[in-house]
Structure 1
Amino acid sequence: MALNIDAWTCCCLSSIPTGSIGVVQTFGEYQGWQEPGCSCICFPCTTVLPVSLAVNQLTCKSECKTKDNVTVVVVTAVQYRILKDMVKVATFDIASPLDQIRAEVDNVLRSTFPSMTLDESYEAKEKMVAETLESVRQAMGQYGYEILNVLITDTRPEKSVLDAMNEINASRRREAAVEKGEANKLLKIKASEADAEAKRLAGVGMANMRAAMAQGFQDSMKFMKESGMNEKEAMHMMIMTQYLDTLRDFAGSHGSIVVPSCDGPFKTSKNPISSQKPKPQTPHPPKKKKKKKKKSSVPAGASSDSANCGISDPAAGSIGVVQKFGAYQGWQEPGCSCICFPCTTVLPVSLAVNQLTCKSDCKTKDNVTVVTVTAVQYRILKDMVKVATFDIASPHDQIRAEVDNVLRSTIPSMTLDESYEAKEKMVAEILESVRKAMGQYGYEILNVLITDIRPEKSVLDAMNEINASRRRREAAFEKGEADKLLKIKASEADAEAKRLAGVGMANMRAAMAQGFQDSMKFMKESGMNEKEAMHMMIMTQYLDTLKEFASTHGSIVVPHGPSAVRDLRSQMPEPAGPSGAVPQRASSPKLCWTEDSAQ
């Protein structure tokens, strides 16, 4: 029966963008494809479906388990495009191409990773890429999909394992620890050498100062005697002069000295430390998040039953099962045909490749509960469409039952690790069993892929924790070795520093002794006896000690005043006599040091 439609009344324009082609269908029947650009079509009898020929990239994430029981997430990028010459197959003969690509990638990766440790998986990246590329090309090439490249962009272990690995790498820096220890040792040795030399030079300087002061005492005694003073008065004059010089040094410093003989109460300078309390920060009120109004999503297109009575048009990739008063009459190809409705009905049946995902809970030989995810790829045979449509009520449930039957018979005889290794064996058994069961009902089973074997979460966490603990133990060992090296180097540096400090102190004492000897010599030459020279040296050191306080920011309380300077000589301890006997000590002056609050 011919159907004539006026082309002028139904003429429309079809525009196809660059990088795509238009799949032309007339009443759902494939007619060919058109190049990019503008063309006239007879709508709605003829439709044009744009199909992109550009290179696309599909990102797949696969969770896998390695041989050393580490859970890793492998990110794979698959680059593909549709071949122009096979656009009909790519458009109508496969229902979910992206899901099938993901299943192929999961199948290869989850078959390869269980045979390698985590470290080996990083090294075998090129091998896994080649295997994945070959498998996906073989599976998708027959459907008009050209697989250009496969890239494994990331292999990321579980976070606890990753943290342990980073800790190991941080702890393995023994070389850095050795270099750091050597550098610290050299710095400490050089500082000790400088300190020892400084002490020696301080002793030499002190000796030279004492010798110069003794020479000055000699000259002062000479001039005072020439002016009419006796020896005792000249010595008191020199001591008083030194005492007043000491007070003058305090006057020019930031410290304070309290002399009990002064009038008025003791005055101490206190500079309270100003403390600024930080202003309490007023918390800002939390910003209210604006609730986004949910937009009601309306599907772009909705299918509706044909309102044209007596016309049947099965889509491309399908056939129409014809029934007359419910009795099977045959099937018709895609396209437009006339039927006597409602006596005759046409039921569209897709012949495209579909994928059914099955999840099976199983128990292994070592009592681990696992969830096995299986992808079954199938299609209906055109010659057996009557059996596939009317002789089986729930084909999907029957396929799932066959998959569960095989898996729950096979996995309980294997341990968890053996089940990962026996993946190919289980795939072959499932494929044979499902083909045998569904082939008689017109279902062609093309492929079976075990895409995941996932243990129960607590078991998975325990596996990751075991691996992380092992790696933490290795990290602790490496860290301990590094700390040991640092401690050894520090001890060596400390021992050398102490030795050099002793050498410096010995040199300083020797220089000071030499200075004392020279001072005694000059004082004897000025007319003092041994006892008077010793008293003079001790008194000079006492006043030098008071001068040291003047260079600091502290305070000192002296239990004597200027009038008691004359008694200081009598308060000094008596030197040893010629026989070596030490006489009884007089009460020595007391110094009280307080830290200035202004420091």
Structure 2
Amino acid sequence: MNPTIIVGVIIVVIIFLGIFTVKQQSAVVVQRFGKFNSIRQSGLNFKIPVVDKIAGVVNLRIQQLDVLIETKTKDNVFVKLKVSVQFKVIQDRVYDAFYKLEYPHDQITSYVFDVVRAEVPKLILDDVFERKDNIAVAVKAELNEAMTTYGYDIINTLITDIDPDIQVKNAMNRINAADREKVAAEYEAEASRIRIVAKAKAEAESKRLQGQGIADQRREIAQGLVESVDVLNKVGINSQEASALIVVTQHYDTLQSVGGETNSNLILLPNSPSVATDMLTNMVASFAASSKVKDMMETPNIALAKKGGYKQQNNDNEDDLN
């Protein structure tokens, strides 16, 4: 075989073995005889075959590590927290990230455990929910201080989940439900009070209007009776006869209205013509008795008044004699 061809083949193989590419957002650590030689960035690169060796590839993209931690709060409630840590390798410190720290995920997890278990026991369960951002900030500050030495930059830390014990969650749900029922009961009571007040006002207004209507009705009836008596007096009927006639007329008008009702629960009294006369007689007797009682009550007062006047006159006479 032609030596030139052999040399050409060897050169092609060497070139082929020495050429390599690095992906975007990645860095390659090249060692020469087991010792660090260089860091190659993305693109087409060349190394000496057999002499140079790719030791590893470092990812420069942002990565996320989820850490699940169980700890206890100040009020002795066990709670599980899920902490998401977003980090990346600093581009100009790939050497430190590759050689100083063998297991970065384990290191980050240890720091997260340490900070969370130092912060959460200071807080009660309700404050853990309210101040989860403060816990995340404390975790980030601690991680930044520790991981920068190893060439890592902590982008952000998030408390993505807080999960108390199942019994605690059930108790919290019952408390929340009881509070909502209390508020609902207060609103229902207020609505009931408003309905009762409105109903009472409506009934009061109805009674007032009803009373006013009855008063107006009686006033008109009285006015009608006066006019009726005046008309009967003008045709020669005295007041007693006119009253009897009006009572009898109203009596039979009442019977007629009762008879016209289809559904009536009224009790019918005797309706003979003598009933009206008896009613009138009773009314006249009542008026006479009332007048007599009034006269008897006024007589002593008149006597006392006269007696007092007599004594006053005697005293005046005695004063004149003196």
TM beyond 0.5: yes
Spell out, residue by residue over 1:524-550, the C-alpha distance to the aligned partner (whole angstroms, 9 max, x if none).
87894454233223223x23769xxxx
Question: Which of 10, 14, 18 does residue 14 from structure 2 map onto?
Answer: 10
Aligned 1:513-528 pairs, distance under 5 A: 514=218, 528=248
SS at 2:193's partner residue? Answer: helix
Structure 2 SS opposite 1:11: helix
Unaligned runs of 5+ in 2: 1-8, 229-242, 284-322
* Cα distance in 2, alignment partners of residues 526 and 97 from structure 1: 116
- Name which of 228, 249, 259 aligns with 1:539: 259
Q: Distance in 2 between matches of 1:165 and 1:102?
A: 30
Indicate the residue corresponding to 2:71 in structure 1: 64
* Residue identity opposite 2:195 in structure 1: L
Task: Return the alpha-carbon distance in structure 1 between the equivalents of residues 249 and 77 of structure 2.
Answer: 92
Tell me by how many angstroms 1:65 deviates.
0.9
Which residue among 252, 260, 270 is the counterpart of 1:574?
270
Bigger share in helix: 2
**Native 8 Å contact 2:133 2:158 kept in 1:** no
Q: Distance in 2 between matches of 1:52 and 1:79?
A: 13
Amino acid at match of 2:60: L
TM-score by length of 2: 0.58
- Structure 2 CA distance for partners of 1:524 and 1:140, relative to 1, 3 Å: farther
1:187-212 deviations in whole A, cap 9, x for unaligned?
Answer: 332234335545666xx6xxxxxxxx
Write the letter of the residue equivalent to 1:47.
I
Q: In structure 1, give the amino acid aligned to 2:121.
A: P
Instruction: Report the Cα distance in structure 1 between the residues aligned to 2:127 and 2:212, rounded to whole angstroms.
Output: 65
Aligned to 1:190: 198
Structure 1 counterpart of 2:308: none
Aligned to 1:68, what secondary structure does the other structure show? coil
Contact 2:140-2:156 within 8 A present in 1 as well: yes
Q: Write the mapping of 1:85-104 to structure 2, written as runs, cut at 5 A.
A: 85-104=92-111
**Backbone CA RMSD of aligned residues:** 4.4
Q: Which residue in the other structure is 2:26 paired with?
A: 20
Map 1:492-511 → 2, pairs under 5 A: 507=211, 510=214
Match of 1:128 among 135, 154, 175: 135
In the alignment, residue 77 of structure 1 is paired with which amino acid?
S
TM-superposed CA distance for 1:105, in Å, is 0.7
Q: Structure 2 CA distance, aligned partners of 1:128 and 1:574?
A: 96
Q: Which structure has more RCO (C-alpha within 8 Å, separation ≥ 6)?
A: 1
User: What does 1:95-244 correspond to in 2, within 5 Å?
Assistant: 95-122=102-129, 125=132, 128-169=135-176, 171-172=178-179, 181-198=189-206
In the alignment, what sits opposite 1:378? none
Give the SS at the match of 1:73. Answer: strand
The structural deviation recorded for 1:20 is 2.0
d(CA) in 2 for partners of 1:73, 1:56: 23
- Is this contact kept in 2: 1:200–1:511, CA < 8 A? no
Cα shift readout 1:365-393 (whole Å, capped 9, x = no counterpart): xxxxxxxxxxxxxxxxxxxxxxxxxxxxx
Contact 1:79 1:148 in 2 (8 A): yes
User: Post-superposition shift, 1:90?
Assistant: 2.1
Amino acid at match of 1:61: L
Q: Tell me the equivalent position of 1:331.
A: none
Deviation at 1:98, TM superposition (A): 0.9
Question: What is the CA distance between 1:170 and its match in structure 2?
Answer: 5.5
Deviations for 1:380-438, whole angstroms, at most 9, x for unmatched residues? xxxxxxxxxxxxxxxxxxxxxxxxxxxxxxxxxxxxxxxxxxxxxxxxxxxxxxxxxxx
Instruction: In structure 2, give the amino acid aligned to 1:150.
Output: T
**CA 1:544–1:39 in 2, change beyond 3 Å: closer, same or farther?**
same
Residues 18 and 534 (structure 1 numbering): CA distance in 2 closer, same or farther, change over 3 Å?
same
TM-aligned CA deviation for residue 73 of structure 1: 2.0
> Which aligned pairs between 1:357-376 and structure 2 lie closer than 5 A?
none
Q: Is the 8 A contact 2:62 2:87 kept in 1?
A: yes
**Against the structure 1 CA distance between its residues 527 and 182, is the aligned structure 2 distance closer, same or farther, given a 3 Å change threshold?**
closer
In structure 2, give the amino acid aligned to 1:64.
Answer: T
Cα 1:166–1:133 shift into 2, 3 Å: same
8 Å contact 1:7–1:42 — kept in the other structure? no
* DSSP 3-state at the match of 1:32: strand
Q: 1:9 Cα deviation (Å)?
A: 0.8
Listed as ranges, the gaps of 5+ residues in structure 1 are 205-506, 547-570, 581-599
TM-score by length of 1: 0.34
Query: Could you list the per-position Cα deviations for residues 326-361 of structure 1 after superposition, in whole angstroms to 9, with x for gaps in the alignment?
Result: xxxxxxxxxxxxxxxxxxxxxxxxxxxxxxxxxxxx
Between stretches 171-180 and 70-79, larger displacement belongs to 171-180
- The answer on whether the counterparts of 2:71 and 2:78 sit within 8 Å (CA) in structure 1 is yes
Deviation of 1:130 after TM superposition, in Å, equals 4.7
